[in-house]
Each structure stands twice: as C-alpha cells, then as structure tokens.
C-alpha cells in the first residue's frame, strides 16, 4: 500500500509538488528560526557569564548589595585561601578570582605631560599563570587586533576602539588613576601590550585588562579579590546544580551580620539575570510557537485545497466500488508520506542553513551600537537536539489535518449526486 501511494505521489506532480515545496520551505524556516533564537540567547548568556556574572559568584555580603558599583573597598580578603577551599569542596567548578574596578587613564606626550585622558572599566584577571583559563573566557587570543598578549604584570590590553580614540599604539605607556581598597589615591604605570575588540559596544567603548597580581598591587589589595567567579567545567550553566551548591556553601557560613562574610549567588541571582532569562525564554518559546502555528495554517490550507481539487477522482473511485473508508485512509496515507518527505528535506535544508550561520555568523554590530546589553556583534545560530524534530510538527500534523478535513466530504457523497457529477 505504501509503495502504491509513493508511486502515485512521484508520478502525479500536480498532486504532490506544491505541497512538498511549501512543507520543505516551512519546515526549513521553523528549524532555522528555532536554532537562531537558541543561538542569540545562548551567546548573550555565555558572554555575560564569562565577563561579569560567572555561573557562580562568591563575594562579601556588602559587595553583593552594591556589586554594580564595583566597590573594591568591600572586597574579599584572603582570597587565595578561599579559592583553594572552594576548589577542594566543589571540584566540578573552576574558580577564578577577579577584580572589577573603574578609574581614569592618562596618556603622556613625549615630554611626559598629559596628552589625553579617558575613563575606563578595568578587569584584573589571571593572565600569566600557566594553567589559567581566563584568557580563553575573555576570548583574548581571537580578539587581539594589534600587539601581543601581556608577558608581565606591568603590561595591559586596551580595547581597540578606545586606543584608536586616543591614538595609542602597542608599546605606549599610560598611567592608571583610581581608588585603593583603603580609599586612598591609586596610580600605577602600565605599557600597552596590545589592543583587543570583543564585539560588544558595552566593552569596546572603554576597558582595559591587566593581570590579577598587577591589580592587587595597584589597588593595594594584597591577597584580596573583588569576587571569585565559578564556572561549570562543562561550560554550560546548570541552574539546579548551581542552586544546590549555593545553598550548601551559604549554610556552612556562620550566622551573623558580618558584612564582610563571604556569600555565594548563582548567575540567575545577579543583576536582573533571572528576569532576563525568564523573559527571553518566554519570548523565545512564544516566537517558536507562533512560527509553528503560522506554518501549520499555511500547510493546512495547502492540504485542504489539494483535497478539494480531487473530488472528481474520489467520485470515479466510489463509482468503481471502492469503499469510502479505504479512500479516506489512502488520502491520509498520502498526506503522511508527503509530510514525511517534506519534513525530512526541510529539516536537512534548515539544519544546513543553521550550520552555516553557526560557523560564519551574522554581523549585527551596526544595529547594536546604541545598546547597553552585553551582546556580541556577530551572532550565531545554535543547533540543538530539538532542531532535528521540531520541523516535523508543522510538516506532518498540518498536512494530515488538512487532508483529513477535506476528506470528510467523501463520506457525504450520495449516489444521486455522484451520477450527476459523472454525467457532467
């Protein structure tokens, strides 16, 4: 039976060609749309985790209340010991102490006088340790546009746009002015080792990166860190596991009101990330649902029109003595075969397009220049297991429903009407 239906589909192009084209295009767009949404959200979350939130974060209670202001005076002391303790208690997490701070950079002229100044956001991370993973999280080797990576604590990386604005080249000296952990004036001399571009307007506007030991010296934070970030070794944020580890750590801390006691929070608990995650997940689900429903309606109409055009064929088959139920079942079988073929080809086409955009990406930097969100300038799709089956929902269901609805008219045909149609 299936072989017979397949031959009919292949030989009668008027019956199958248009539905196959519509199904293929609809399924491909459904797969591509879902992969696109997953990719955009995944890139934004990954970038936020690597640069700001981590999957877990340990800081003092007072720092947690004001972390948006990067208050170095509320930093963790004894950070090396605390990091070792965290690594021993939670080996599935990679821990990285950091210092985020703000200040002013002064660029001198040939005479040593101030030539230009600009405000910056500073990141002190582990750049020089042999086993450090921090340069990879900041994507520094790929983001490097000129110069080289720092080789000692006196060298720094500037964002390329910021360096171009002040006509700074690798090898040029500059002085950082800020505030120490004790609240006094901090100034420290650096040399530009290289310039980087992250692809995010928020970061590229003005930032510089130094080694953690240099940040501790410049800000008088010996064995201190503003925050200790934790990353799952799998690279992906696990909300349940993160919450379980957070509850375990916080319950082990002594009760009291010490504002400098360490506290752990998850990525969801930071800087409005919970609302952002819930909102984007809801928007993503709604967009996929609307897209699937819209394509289902289009394919439903295609199946309905195709079934209505075959009333004459159904009349002849009924006149030859074929049972109504058999005709109806064969109509549904044809719809399933057409839907299956279109869903397979559409899924392959959609996965191919999604793979291309996952590798090459799409540059939206011009559209994100005025954005304050930490979103990469080049966004990519992300192929997941769902993309291998989500296109079959509109591809199979809608075509089958359309033919099933139009096929109901088969049971409404009576003998008198049948002979009138044949006589005509």
SS (H, E, C) 311-349: HHHHHHHHHCCCCHHHHHHHHHHHHHHHHHHHHHHHHHH
Half-sphere CA count of 37, side-chain side, radius 13 A: 20
Closest CA to 267 of 238, 305, 294: 238
Q: Write the DSSP assignment of 84-99 as a string of letters.
A: HHHHHH-TTEEEEEEE
Q: Are 350 and 28 in contact (CB under 8 A)?
A: yes
Predicted local confidence at residue 80, as pLDDT: 92
Q: Give residues with Cβ within 8 angstroms of 419, minimum separation 6.
A: none
What confidence score (pLDDT) does residue 12 get?
59
Burial annotation 346-366 (CB, 10 A radius, 16+ → b, else e)? bbebbbebbeebbeebeebbe
pLDDT at 149: 94
Q: Taking the model in full, what pTM does it have?
A: 0.71
Q: How many H helices and E strands in the chain?
A: 16, 14
Per-residue pLDDT of the chain (424 residues; tens, 9 = 90+): 556 555 555 555 566 677 788 888 888 988 888 888 888 777 778 888 888 889 999 999 999 888 878 889 999 999 999 999 999 999 999 999 999 999 999 999 888 888 999 999 999 999 999 989 999 999 898 889 999 999 999 999 999 999 999 999 999 999 999 999 988 899 899 999 999 988 777 788 889 999 999 999 999 999 999 999 999 987 778 889 999 999 999 998 887 778 889 999 999 888 777 787 787 778 767 777 777 777 667 767 766 666 666 666 666 777 777 777 777 787 788 778 888 888 999 999 999 999 998 888 776 655 545 444 455 557 788 888 888 988 888 888 877 777 777 777 666 666 555 555 555 5
User: What's residue 11's pLDDT?
Assistant: 56
User: How deeply is 198 buried, as exposed, middle or buried, from its count of CB atoms within 10 A (0-12, 13-18, 19+)?
Assistant: buried
Residue 328 near residue 411 (C-beta atoms within 8 A)? yes
CB half-sphere exposure, 99, CA atoms < 13 A? 35
Res 311: pLDDT: 64
Cα 114 to chain center, whole Å? 42
Helix (H, G, I), strand (E, B) or coil at 228: strand
What's residue 192's pLDDT? 95
Q: How many of the other CB atoms lie within 10 Å of CB of 236?
A: 12
Token pair of 210 as six digits: 């130094």
- H or E element, residue 173: strand 173-179
> Angle between the 399-407 and 273-308 helix axes, to the nearest 10 degrees?
40
d(CA 394, CA 300): 9
- 387 in Cβ contact with 351 (< 8 Å): yes
State whether residue 384 is helix, strand or coil: coil
Instruction: Give the C-alpha separation, 197 to 238, whole Å.
Output: 29
User: At a CB cut-off of 8 Å and minimum separation 6, what does 14 contact?
Assistant: none
Phi/psi at 159 (nearest 5 deg)?
-70, 140
Distance in angstroms (rounded) separating the CA atoms of residues 98 and 318: 79
- How high is the pLDDT of residue 371? 47
């Amino acid at each position: 039976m299936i072989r017979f239906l397949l031959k009919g589909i292949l030989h009668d192009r008027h019956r199958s060609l248009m539905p196959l084209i519509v199904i293929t295009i609809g399924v491909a767009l459904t797969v591509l749309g879902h992969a696109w949404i997953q990719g955009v959200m995944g890139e934004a979350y990954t970038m936020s985790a690597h640069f700001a939130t981590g999957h877990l974060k340990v800081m003092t209670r007072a720092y947690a209340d004001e972390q948006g202001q990067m208050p170095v005076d509320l930093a963790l002391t004894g950070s090396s010991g605390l990091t070792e303790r965290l690594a021993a208690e939670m080996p599935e997490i990679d821990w990285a102490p950091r210092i985020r701070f703000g200040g002013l950079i002064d660029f001198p002229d040939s005479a040593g006088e101030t030539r230009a100044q600009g405000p910056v956001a500073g990141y002190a991370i582990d750049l020089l340790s042999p086993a450090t993973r921090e340069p990879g999280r900041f994507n520094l080797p790929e983001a490097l546009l000129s110069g080289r990576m720092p080789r000692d604590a006196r060298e720094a990386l500037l964002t390329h746009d910021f360096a171009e604005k002040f006509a700074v080249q690798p090898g040029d000296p500059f002085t950082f002015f800020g505030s120490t952990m004790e609240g006094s004036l901090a100034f420290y001399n650096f040399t530009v080792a290289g310039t980087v571009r992250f692809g995010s307007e928020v970061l590229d506007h003005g930032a510089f990166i130094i080694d953690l030991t240099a940040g501790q010296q410049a800000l008088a934070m010996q064995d201190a860190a503003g925050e200790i970030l934790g990353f799952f070794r799998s690279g992906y944020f696990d909300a349940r596991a993160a919450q379980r580890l957070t509850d375990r750590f916080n319950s082990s801390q002594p009760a009291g009101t010490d504002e400098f006691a360490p506290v752990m929070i998850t990525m969801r608990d930071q800087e409005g990330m919970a609302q952002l995650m819930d909102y984007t997940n809801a928007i993503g689900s709604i967009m996929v649902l609307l897209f699937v429903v819209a394509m289902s309606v289009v394919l439903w109409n295609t199946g309905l029109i195709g079934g209505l055009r075959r009333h004459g064929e159904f009349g002849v088959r009924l006149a030859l003595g074929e049972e109504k139920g058999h005709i109806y079942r064969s109509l549904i079988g044809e719809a399933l075969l057409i839907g299956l073929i279109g869903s397979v080809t559409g899924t392959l086409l959609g996965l191919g397009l999604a793979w291309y955009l996952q590798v090459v990406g799409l540059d939206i930097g011009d559209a994100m220049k005025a954005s304050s969100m930490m979103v990469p300038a080049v966004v990519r799709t992300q192929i997941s297991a769902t993309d291998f089956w989500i296109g079959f929902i509109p591809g199979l269901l809608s075509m089958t429903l359309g033919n099933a609805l139009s096929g109901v008219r088969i049971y409404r045909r009576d003998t008198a009407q049948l002979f009138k149609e044949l006589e005509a």
